[in-house]
Structure formats: structure tokens, C-alpha cells
Amino acid sequence: MTAPVALRIIRSIAADSSRVVWLAHAKRRMRQRRITPAQAISCLKKGVIIEGPALDSKGYWRSTMQRLSAGEEVTVVVSFKSHDRALVISVF
């Protein structure tokens, strides 16, 4: 998979935030780093891929995205297997 294709899929999923699943690790990191869900969603919708996409051992495509949001650089590690939902793994 190419970065432009992954970007289209991620943005399509993020357009409906109910299709974004937040893993416990990501929620903890967001609280620790004072990053809001809106900032993370904005990163998924409008950010750029800085790493990946790469296929992980479980068959998910994983990418790292970045965006300047509310004056802060927000980075989101996201993975997806289909066009149905995306998993937010970490946020920093």
C-alpha cells in the first residue's frame, strides 16, 4: 500500500469519528500529554503521513501521522485492516 492510498483511507474513516477506536494506551498518553480527542482526530483528518504505511505482524496497516494543532505538534500512530475502522495506538 502506498502512503497516498493509506491517507485517503484514514481520512475517510476519521470523517466519522465513531469509526475511530481508541486503545487504552492512546487514552493514557493523551491524558498525560494533555492532547484532546479533537486534536487527534484533526491529525487523522488533515495530517500528513510521516512513517509507513507498513504491514504489522497481525495484518494491520500501520502509519504515523503528524499535524500542527492548537499550536502544538500532534503525532498519532494509527492502524487499520479495512475501510471500516481505525485503531489509534498512541498519541504524542
Distance CA(37)–CA(25), nearest Å, equals 14
Mean local confidence (pLDDT), 2-22: 95
pLDDT beyond 80 at 4: yes
Domain 3-91 has CATH 3.30.2310.40: yes
pLDDT in tens, 41-62: 999 999 999 998 999 999 999 9
> pTM for the whole thing?
0.87
Q: How many CA atoms lie within 13 A of 29 on its CB side?
A: 15
Predicted local confidence at residue 46, as pLDDT: 96
Per domain, the residue ranges of the chain are 3-91
Predicted local confidence at residue 53, as pLDDT: 94
